[in-house]
Amino acid sequence: MDDLVCISPVDGRELARRPLASTAEADRAVARARQAQRQWREAPLAERSAAVAGFLQAMERLDGEIVPELAWQMGRPIRYGGELRSLKERVEAMLALAPEALAPEEHGPGRRVVRVPAGVVLVIAPWNYPFLTAANTIVPALLAGNAVILKHSAQTLLAGERFAEAFAAAGLPDGIFANLFLSHEETARLLAAGLVDHATFTGSVEGGRAVERAAAGSFTTLTLELGGKDPAYVRADADLAAAVAGIADGAFYNSGQSCCGVERVYVHEAVWQPFLDGFVEAARAYRLGDPLDPETSLGPMASARGAEQVRRQVEAARRAGAQAHVEPQLFPADAGDGPYLMPQVLTGVDHSMGVMREETFGPVAGLMRVPDDEEAVRLMNDSAYGLTASLWTRDLEAGERLLAGVEAGTTFVNRCDYLDPLLAWTGVKDSGRGASLGRYGFDAVTRPKSLHARSA
Protein backbone atom coordinates (compact mmCIF):
# COMPACT_ATOMS: atom_id res chain seq x y z
CA MET A 1 0.00 0.00 0.00
CA ASP A 2 1.31 3.49 -0.87
CA ASP A 3 1.89 6.23 1.69
CA LEU A 4 0.82 9.86 1.82
CA VAL A 5 3.96 12.01 2.05
CA CYS A 6 4.46 15.68 2.91
CA ILE A 7 7.63 17.22 1.47
CA SER A 8 8.48 20.47 3.23
CA PRO A 9 9.03 23.45 0.92
CA VAL A 10 11.36 24.94 3.52
CA ASP A 11 14.24 22.56 2.87
CA GLY A 12 12.89 19.79 0.63
CA ARG A 13 13.01 17.07 3.26
CA GLU A 14 10.29 14.57 4.04
CA LEU A 15 8.31 16.08 6.90
CA ALA A 16 5.66 13.41 7.46
CA ARG A 17 4.49 10.10 6.03
CA ARG A 18 1.24 8.29 6.70
CA PRO A 19 -0.12 5.01 5.28
CA LEU A 20 -3.12 5.37 3.01
CA ALA A 21 -6.36 3.92 4.29
CA SER A 22 -7.39 0.69 2.64
CA THR A 23 -10.83 0.19 1.13
CA ALA A 24 -11.83 -1.87 4.16
CA GLU A 25 -10.61 0.82 6.57
CA ALA A 26 -12.45 3.55 4.69
CA ASP A 27 -15.66 1.51 4.64
CA ARG A 28 -15.40 0.82 8.37
CA ALA A 29 -14.92 4.55 9.11
CA VAL A 30 -17.99 5.44 7.04
CA ALA A 31 -20.03 2.69 8.70
CA ARG A 32 -19.01 3.93 12.17
CA ALA A 33 -19.87 7.49 11.14
CA ARG A 34 -23.30 6.49 9.89
CA GLN A 35 -24.08 4.55 13.05
CA ALA A 36 -22.85 7.32 15.36
CA GLN A 37 -24.72 9.98 13.40
CA ARG A 38 -28.07 8.39 14.21
CA GLN A 39 -27.58 9.38 17.85
CA TRP A 40 -25.73 12.62 17.20
CA ARG A 41 -28.59 14.03 15.12
CA GLU A 42 -30.92 13.51 18.13
CA ALA A 43 -28.61 15.32 20.53
CA PRO A 44 -29.81 18.81 21.53
CA LEU A 45 -28.22 21.67 19.63
CA ALA A 46 -26.74 22.90 22.92
CA GLU A 47 -24.82 19.64 23.26
CA ARG A 48 -23.52 19.79 19.71
CA SER A 49 -22.59 23.45 20.18
CA ALA A 50 -20.67 22.65 23.35
CA ALA A 51 -18.57 20.09 21.48
CA VAL A 52 -17.76 22.60 18.72
CA ALA A 53 -16.89 25.27 21.31
CA GLY A 54 -14.64 22.73 23.02
CA PHE A 55 -12.95 22.06 19.68
CA LEU A 56 -12.17 25.77 19.34
CA GLN A 57 -10.73 25.89 22.86
CA ALA A 58 -8.52 22.91 22.04
CA MET A 59 -7.32 24.59 18.85
CA GLU A 60 -6.39 27.68 20.87
CA ARG A 61 -4.27 25.51 23.18
CA LEU A 62 -2.57 23.86 20.18
CA ASP A 63 -1.88 27.08 18.28
CA GLY A 64 1.70 27.44 19.51
CA GLU A 65 2.53 24.08 17.92
CA ILE A 66 0.41 24.58 14.81
CA VAL A 67 2.00 27.87 13.66
CA PRO A 68 5.53 26.48 13.02
CA GLU A 69 4.01 23.22 11.83
CA LEU A 70 2.18 25.14 9.09
CA ALA A 71 5.39 26.92 8.10
CA TRP A 72 7.15 23.58 7.67
CA GLN A 73 4.23 22.05 5.75
CA MET A 74 3.30 24.80 3.29
CA GLY A 75 5.65 27.73 3.80
CA ARG A 76 3.54 30.45 5.44
CA PRO A 77 5.76 32.74 7.55
CA ILE A 78 5.33 32.44 11.31
CA ARG A 79 5.16 36.25 11.60
CA TYR A 80 1.55 36.01 10.43
CA GLY A 81 0.61 33.41 13.03
CA GLY A 82 -1.50 30.48 11.92
CA GLU A 83 -5.19 30.60 11.12
CA LEU A 84 -6.51 30.79 14.67
CA ARG A 85 -7.85 34.35 14.56
CA SER A 86 -9.95 33.73 11.45
CA LEU A 87 -10.89 30.24 12.64
CA LYS A 88 -12.15 31.69 15.92
CA GLU A 89 -14.14 34.35 14.07
CA ARG A 90 -15.79 31.76 11.83
CA VAL A 91 -16.53 29.18 14.50
CA GLU A 92 -18.03 31.77 16.84
CA ALA A 93 -20.15 33.19 14.01
CA MET A 94 -21.50 29.76 13.09
CA LEU A 95 -22.22 28.95 16.72
CA ALA A 96 -24.22 32.18 16.97
CA LEU A 97 -26.06 31.55 13.70
CA ALA A 98 -26.94 27.90 14.34
CA PRO A 99 -30.09 28.35 16.48
CA GLU A 100 -31.76 30.54 13.87
CA ALA A 101 -30.39 28.72 10.82
CA LEU A 102 -31.55 25.34 12.12
CA ALA A 103 -34.84 26.47 13.65
CA PRO A 104 -38.11 25.12 12.20
CA GLU A 105 -40.09 27.40 9.90
CA GLU A 106 -43.65 27.65 11.16
CA HIS A 107 -46.35 28.28 8.56
CA GLY A 108 -49.47 28.08 10.67
CA PRO A 109 -51.04 25.23 12.67
CA GLY A 110 -49.72 21.83 11.60
CA ARG A 111 -47.47 23.26 8.88
CA ARG A 112 -43.76 23.27 9.46
CA VAL A 113 -40.45 22.91 7.62
CA VAL A 114 -37.50 21.57 9.58
CA ARG A 115 -33.84 21.24 8.62
CA VAL A 116 -32.55 17.68 8.97
CA PRO A 117 -28.88 16.69 8.63
CA ALA A 118 -27.67 15.28 5.34
CA GLY A 119 -26.06 12.31 7.13
CA VAL A 120 -22.37 11.63 6.46
CA VAL A 121 -20.43 14.57 5.02
CA LEU A 122 -17.11 14.17 3.22
CA VAL A 123 -14.77 17.19 3.34
CA ILE A 124 -11.96 17.23 0.76
CA ALA A 125 -9.70 20.03 2.00
CA PRO A 126 -6.80 21.90 0.34
CA TRP A 127 -3.40 22.86 1.73
CA ASN A 128 -3.38 26.65 1.22
CA TYR A 129 -5.68 27.43 4.21
CA PRO A 130 -5.87 23.97 5.72
CA PHE A 131 -7.86 24.84 8.84
CA LEU A 132 -10.15 27.56 7.53
CA THR A 133 -11.31 25.83 4.36
CA ALA A 134 -12.05 22.59 6.19
CA ALA A 135 -13.82 24.31 9.08
CA ASN A 136 -16.14 26.12 6.65
CA THR A 137 -17.99 22.81 6.22
CA ILE A 138 -16.98 20.77 9.26
CA VAL A 139 -18.39 23.19 11.82
CA PRO A 140 -21.89 23.72 10.37
CA ALA A 141 -22.06 20.03 9.48
CA LEU A 142 -21.47 18.97 13.08
CA LEU A 143 -23.76 21.65 14.48
CA ALA A 144 -26.52 20.43 12.18
CA GLY A 145 -26.16 16.84 13.39
CA ASN A 146 -24.02 15.27 10.66
CA ALA A 147 -21.01 13.01 10.95
CA VAL A 148 -17.88 14.15 9.08
CA ILE A 149 -15.11 12.36 7.19
CA LEU A 150 -12.09 14.60 6.49
CA LYS A 151 -9.70 13.89 3.63
CA HIS A 152 -6.90 16.44 3.80
CA SER A 153 -4.20 17.30 1.30
CA ALA A 154 -0.90 15.43 1.46
CA GLN A 155 0.86 18.81 1.74
CA THR A 156 -0.88 19.51 5.06
CA LEU A 157 -1.63 16.04 6.29
CA LEU A 158 -0.74 17.07 9.87
CA ALA A 159 -3.68 19.53 9.83
CA GLY A 160 -6.15 16.66 9.62
CA GLU A 161 -4.57 15.09 12.67
CA ARG A 162 -4.89 18.38 14.55
CA PHE A 163 -8.62 18.45 13.79
CA ALA A 164 -8.96 14.92 15.14
CA GLU A 165 -6.90 15.77 18.23
CA ALA A 166 -8.99 18.87 18.99
CA PHE A 167 -12.32 17.10 18.54
CA ALA A 168 -11.17 14.24 20.77
CA ALA A 169 -10.15 16.76 23.44
CA ALA A 170 -13.59 18.35 23.13
CA GLY A 171 -15.27 15.03 23.88
CA LEU A 172 -16.94 14.58 20.50
CA PRO A 173 -18.54 11.10 20.48
CA ASP A 174 -16.59 8.35 18.74
CA GLY A 175 -17.31 7.99 15.05
CA ILE A 176 -18.75 11.47 14.51
CA PHE A 177 -15.48 12.81 13.10
CA ALA A 178 -12.83 10.81 11.28
CA ASN A 179 -9.62 11.99 9.64
CA LEU A 180 -8.73 9.56 6.85
CA PHE A 181 -5.61 9.43 4.69
CA LEU A 182 -7.29 8.70 1.37
CA SER A 183 -5.94 8.33 -2.15
CA HIS A 184 -7.70 10.09 -5.02
CA GLU A 185 -8.93 6.71 -6.20
CA GLU A 186 -10.37 5.76 -2.83
CA THR A 187 -12.04 9.16 -2.52
CA ALA A 188 -13.60 8.71 -5.95
CA ARG A 189 -14.83 5.24 -4.94
CA LEU A 190 -16.60 6.60 -1.85
CA LEU A 191 -18.33 9.20 -4.00
CA ALA A 192 -19.25 6.84 -6.83
CA ALA A 193 -20.68 4.24 -4.43
CA GLY A 194 -22.90 6.81 -2.76
CA LEU A 195 -21.37 6.03 0.63
CA VAL A 196 -21.53 9.68 1.71
CA ASP A 197 -24.51 12.00 1.54
CA HIS A 198 -22.80 15.32 0.84
CA ALA A 199 -19.26 16.23 -0.21
CA THR A 200 -17.45 19.52 -0.29
CA PHE A 201 -14.31 20.08 -2.35
CA THR A 202 -11.95 23.06 -2.40
CA GLY A 203 -9.31 23.03 -5.09
CA SER A 204 -8.66 23.38 -8.79
CA VAL A 205 -11.24 23.41 -11.57
CA GLU A 206 -9.91 20.10 -12.87
CA GLY A 207 -10.16 18.64 -9.38
CA GLY A 208 -13.76 19.84 -9.17
CA ARG A 209 -14.56 18.18 -12.47
CA ALA A 210 -13.02 14.94 -11.20
CA VAL A 211 -15.21 15.10 -8.08
CA GLU A 212 -18.32 15.75 -10.20
CA ARG A 213 -17.49 12.81 -12.46
CA ALA A 214 -16.92 10.51 -9.50
CA ALA A 215 -20.23 11.48 -7.89
CA ALA A 216 -22.24 11.32 -11.12
CA GLY A 217 -25.29 9.12 -10.72
CA SER A 218 -24.87 8.71 -6.97
CA PHE A 219 -27.10 11.71 -6.16
CA THR A 220 -24.53 12.83 -3.61
CA THR A 221 -24.87 16.60 -3.25
CA LEU A 222 -21.75 18.70 -3.78
CA THR A 223 -20.32 22.06 -2.79
CA LEU A 224 -17.40 23.10 -5.00
CA GLU A 225 -15.08 26.03 -4.26
CA LEU A 226 -12.71 26.12 -7.20
CA GLY A 227 -10.16 28.41 -8.81
CA GLY A 228 -10.09 32.13 -9.28
CA LYS A 229 -8.52 34.90 -11.32
CA ASP A 230 -9.76 37.67 -9.11
CA PRO A 231 -9.67 41.26 -10.38
CA ALA A 232 -9.35 44.63 -8.66
CA TYR A 233 -10.24 48.00 -10.18
CA VAL A 234 -8.70 51.24 -8.93
CA ARG A 235 -10.95 54.17 -9.85
CA ALA A 236 -9.69 57.69 -10.44
CA ASP A 237 -11.06 58.78 -7.06
CA ALA A 238 -9.52 55.95 -5.02
CA ASP A 239 -7.51 56.48 -1.86
CA LEU A 240 -4.27 55.38 -3.50
CA ALA A 241 -2.35 54.59 -0.33
CA ALA A 242 -5.15 52.34 0.89
CA ALA A 243 -5.54 50.74 -2.55
CA VAL A 244 -1.82 50.01 -2.87
CA ALA A 245 -1.60 48.47 0.60
CA GLY A 246 -4.81 46.47 0.28
CA ILE A 247 -4.23 45.11 -3.21
CA ALA A 248 -0.58 44.28 -2.51
CA ASP A 249 -1.62 42.25 0.51
CA GLY A 250 -4.34 40.59 -1.57
CA ALA A 251 -1.84 39.71 -4.30
CA PHE A 252 1.21 38.61 -2.30
CA TYR A 253 -0.01 37.29 1.06
CA ASN A 254 0.52 33.54 1.46
CA SER A 255 2.84 33.79 -1.56
CA GLY A 256 -0.23 34.48 -3.69
CA GLN A 257 -1.61 31.04 -2.90
CA SER A 258 -5.12 32.19 -2.07
CA CYS A 259 -8.24 31.20 -3.95
CA CYS A 260 -9.42 34.81 -3.69
CA GLY A 261 -5.99 36.38 -4.16
CA VAL A 262 -5.83 39.41 -6.47
CA GLU A 263 -4.20 38.43 -9.79
CA ARG A 264 -5.49 41.12 -12.20
CA VAL A 265 -5.46 44.86 -11.47
CA TYR A 266 -7.15 47.46 -13.67
CA VAL A 267 -6.13 51.05 -12.95
CA HIS A 268 -7.82 54.20 -14.22
CA GLU A 269 -5.42 56.12 -16.44
CA ALA A 270 -5.75 59.23 -14.25
CA VAL A 271 -3.98 57.45 -11.36
CA TRP A 272 -1.97 54.91 -13.33
CA GLN A 273 1.54 56.12 -12.61
CA PRO A 274 1.21 56.88 -8.89
CA PHE A 275 -0.55 53.57 -8.29
CA LEU A 276 2.04 51.64 -10.30
CA ASP A 277 4.92 53.31 -8.48
CA GLY A 278 3.39 52.59 -5.08
CA PHE A 279 2.48 49.02 -5.95
CA VAL A 280 5.95 48.18 -7.23
CA GLU A 281 7.49 49.64 -4.07
CA ALA A 282 5.14 47.51 -1.97
CA ALA A 283 6.24 44.38 -3.84
CA ARG A 284 9.91 45.28 -3.44
CA ALA A 285 9.45 45.64 0.32
CA TYR A 286 8.69 41.95 0.90
CA ARG A 287 11.40 39.80 2.42
CA LEU A 288 11.63 36.32 0.87
CA GLY A 289 13.17 33.58 2.95
CA ASP A 290 12.88 31.03 5.72
CA PRO A 291 9.26 31.13 6.99
CA LEU A 292 10.49 30.25 10.49
CA ASP A 293 12.40 33.57 10.63
CA PRO A 294 10.12 36.25 12.19
CA GLU A 295 11.54 38.83 9.77
CA THR A 296 10.39 36.88 6.70
CA SER A 297 7.25 38.28 5.08
CA LEU A 298 7.18 35.98 2.02
CA GLY A 299 7.85 32.29 2.45
CA PRO A 300 8.39 29.60 -0.16
CA MET A 301 5.49 28.39 -2.26
CA ALA A 302 4.13 25.04 -1.12
CA SER A 303 5.99 23.15 -3.83
CA ALA A 304 8.73 23.62 -6.37
CA ARG A 305 6.33 22.38 -9.04
CA GLY A 306 3.86 25.17 -8.27
CA ALA A 307 6.60 27.79 -8.33
CA GLU A 308 7.87 26.52 -11.67
CA GLN A 309 4.41 26.82 -13.19
CA VAL A 310 4.30 30.47 -12.09
CA ARG A 311 7.77 31.12 -13.52
CA ARG A 312 6.71 29.67 -16.86
CA GLN A 313 3.61 31.88 -16.92
CA VAL A 314 5.65 35.02 -16.17
CA GLU A 315 8.27 34.17 -18.76
CA ALA A 316 5.62 33.55 -21.42
CA ALA A 317 4.13 36.99 -20.67
CA ARG A 318 7.56 38.64 -20.94
CA ARG A 319 8.22 36.96 -24.27
CA ALA A 320 4.89 38.35 -25.45
CA GLY A 321 5.87 41.90 -24.48
CA ALA A 322 5.11 42.28 -20.78
CA GLN A 323 7.45 44.32 -18.60
CA ALA A 324 8.57 43.06 -15.18
CA HIS A 325 9.10 45.80 -12.58
CA VAL A 326 10.65 43.97 -9.61
CA GLU A 327 14.38 43.32 -9.85
CA PRO A 328 15.62 39.77 -9.13
CA GLN A 329 18.68 41.05 -7.23
CA LEU A 330 16.36 42.25 -4.47
CA PHE A 331 15.40 38.64 -3.74
CA PRO A 332 18.54 36.47 -3.58
CA ALA A 333 16.56 33.63 -1.98
CA ASP A 334 14.94 33.06 -5.40
CA ALA A 335 17.58 31.03 -7.21
CA GLY A 336 15.48 30.66 -10.36
CA ASP A 337 14.26 27.22 -9.41
CA GLY A 338 12.78 25.58 -6.33
CA PRO A 339 9.85 26.83 -4.23
CA TYR A 340 11.31 30.21 -3.16
CA LEU A 341 9.71 32.65 -5.61
CA MET A 342 10.01 36.44 -5.60
CA PRO A 343 6.98 38.72 -6.04
CA GLN A 344 6.50 40.27 -9.47
CA VAL A 345 4.49 43.11 -11.00
CA LEU A 346 3.83 43.00 -14.75
CA THR A 347 2.64 45.75 -17.07
CA GLY A 348 2.22 45.68 -20.83
CA VAL A 349 -0.10 42.71 -20.34
CA ASP A 350 -3.40 41.98 -22.06
CA HIS A 351 -6.03 39.25 -22.13
CA SER A 352 -4.27 37.29 -24.84
CA MET A 353 -1.70 36.28 -22.19
CA GLY A 354 -2.06 33.35 -19.82
CA VAL A 355 -1.02 35.54 -16.89
CA MET A 356 -4.29 37.47 -17.32
CA ARG A 357 -6.50 34.46 -18.17
CA GLU A 358 -5.27 31.41 -16.28
CA GLU A 359 -5.04 31.01 -12.53
CA THR A 360 -1.53 31.95 -11.38
CA PHE A 361 -1.72 31.00 -7.69
CA GLY A 362 1.58 32.71 -6.97
CA PRO A 363 2.95 36.14 -5.96
CA VAL A 364 2.39 37.80 -9.34
CA ALA A 365 0.00 40.57 -10.42
CA GLY A 366 -0.66 41.89 -13.92
CA LEU A 367 -1.64 45.57 -14.20
CA MET A 368 -3.56 47.19 -17.06
CA ARG A 369 -4.42 50.85 -17.62
CA VAL A 370 -8.11 51.55 -18.42
CA PRO A 371 -9.83 54.74 -19.66
CA ASP A 372 -13.12 54.45 -17.76
CA ASP A 373 -15.38 52.40 -15.51
CA GLU A 374 -17.09 50.62 -18.40
CA GLU A 375 -13.85 49.19 -19.75
CA ALA A 376 -12.78 48.13 -16.29
CA VAL A 377 -16.01 46.20 -15.70
CA ARG A 378 -15.80 44.63 -19.15
CA LEU A 379 -12.28 43.37 -18.45
CA MET A 380 -13.17 42.19 -14.95
CA ASN A 381 -15.90 40.03 -16.49
CA ASP A 382 -13.66 38.76 -19.29
CA SER A 383 -12.72 35.61 -17.40
CA ALA A 384 -13.80 32.01 -16.96
CA TYR A 385 -13.67 32.60 -13.21
CA GLY A 386 -15.89 34.51 -10.80
CA LEU A 387 -14.91 34.11 -7.15
CA THR A 388 -14.28 37.66 -5.87
CA ALA A 389 -13.76 41.12 -7.29
CA SER A 390 -12.79 44.37 -5.59
CA LEU A 391 -13.30 48.01 -6.48
CA TRP A 392 -11.41 50.88 -4.87
CA THR A 393 -13.14 54.26 -4.72
CA ARG A 394 -14.15 57.08 -2.37
CA ASP A 395 -17.67 56.95 -3.86
CA LEU A 396 -19.31 53.95 -2.16
CA GLU A 397 -22.56 54.37 -4.06
CA ALA A 398 -20.74 54.27 -7.41
CA GLY A 399 -18.69 51.31 -6.23
CA GLU A 400 -21.77 49.28 -5.32
CA ARG A 401 -23.49 50.25 -8.59
CA LEU A 402 -20.54 49.13 -10.70
CA LEU A 403 -20.04 45.90 -8.76
CA ALA A 404 -23.66 44.96 -9.40
CA GLY A 405 -22.57 44.33 -12.99
CA VAL A 406 -19.48 42.28 -12.06
CA GLU A 407 -19.74 38.49 -12.36
CA ALA A 408 -18.40 37.27 -9.02
CA GLY A 409 -19.75 35.50 -5.97
CA THR A 410 -18.30 38.04 -3.53
CA THR A 411 -17.64 41.69 -4.33
CA PHE A 412 -15.72 44.20 -2.21
CA VAL A 413 -15.46 47.97 -2.02
CA ASN A 414 -12.13 49.16 -0.60
CA ARG A 415 -11.02 45.74 0.61
CA CYS A 416 -10.24 42.31 -0.81
CA ASP A 417 -9.14 38.79 0.06
CA TYR A 418 -11.41 38.36 3.10
CA LEU A 419 -14.18 35.93 3.99
CA ASP A 420 -16.86 37.45 6.19
CA PRO A 421 -18.34 34.55 8.20
CA LEU A 422 -21.80 36.14 8.15
CA LEU A 423 -21.96 36.33 4.36
CA ALA A 424 -22.24 33.61 1.71
CA TRP A 425 -18.92 32.38 0.36
CA THR A 426 -19.66 31.32 -3.19
CA GLY A 427 -18.38 31.52 -6.75
CA VAL A 428 -19.86 31.72 -10.22
CA LYS A 429 -18.72 30.37 -13.59
CA ASP A 430 -15.70 28.06 -13.14
CA SER A 431 -15.14 29.22 -9.57
CA GLY A 432 -17.64 26.80 -8.12
CA ARG A 433 -21.14 25.82 -7.10
CA GLY A 434 -22.95 26.08 -3.80
CA ALA A 435 -22.07 28.21 -0.79
CA SER A 436 -20.48 28.04 2.63
CA LEU A 437 -20.44 30.43 5.61
CA GLY A 438 -23.34 32.48 6.91
CA ARG A 439 -26.72 30.80 7.14
CA TYR A 440 -26.03 29.43 3.68
CA GLY A 441 -23.36 27.09 5.01
CA PHE A 442 -26.05 25.23 6.95
CA ASP A 443 -28.17 24.81 3.83
CA ALA A 444 -25.48 22.71 2.13
CA VAL A 445 -25.32 20.15 4.95
CA THR A 446 -29.04 19.87 5.67
CA ARG A 447 -32.20 19.24 3.72
CA PRO A 448 -35.70 20.60 4.28
CA LYS A 449 -38.34 18.25 5.61
CA SER A 450 -41.98 19.32 5.65
CA LEU A 451 -44.76 18.40 8.07
CA HIS A 452 -48.40 19.03 7.19
CA ALA A 453 -50.88 17.76 9.78
CA ARG A 454 -54.55 18.34 10.31
CA SER A 455 -57.02 17.15 12.90
CA ALA A 456 -58.80 13.89 12.14
Q: Which residues are catalytic?
A: 225, 259
Helices (H), 253-371: 272-284, 304-319
Question: Using CA atoms, how far apart are residues 411 and 140, in angstroms rounded to an integer?
Answer: 24
Q: Percent helix, strand and coil across the chain, each rounded to 5?
A: 45, 20, 35
Environment class of 50 (CB within 10 Å of its CB; exposed 0-12, middle 13-18, buried 19+): middle
Cα gap 241→178, rounded to integer Å: 46
Strand partners, 11: none
d(CA 402, CA 167): 44
Report the DSSP beta bridge partners of residue 412: 390
The angle, 0 to 180 degrees and rounded to 10, between the axes of the packed helices 184-192 and 205-215 is 40
DSSP designation for 10: T
The Cα 359–Cα 306 span in angstroms is 11
Query: Distance between CA atoms of 265 and 231, rounded to whole angstroms?
Result: 6
Residues in the chain: 456
Interstrand relation of 388-392 and 177-180 (parallel, antiparallel or unpaired): unpaired
The upper half-sphere exposure of residue 258, i.e. CA atoms within 13 Å in the direction of its Cβ, equals 25
Query: Within the chain, what is the greatest distance between any pair of CA atoms?
Result: 84
Asked if 440 and 409 touch (Cβ cutoff 8 Å), the reply is: no
DSSP state of 256: G
Q: What is the CA radius of gyration of the chain?
A: 23
Report the alpha-carbon distance of residue 135 to residue 141 in Å, rounded. 9
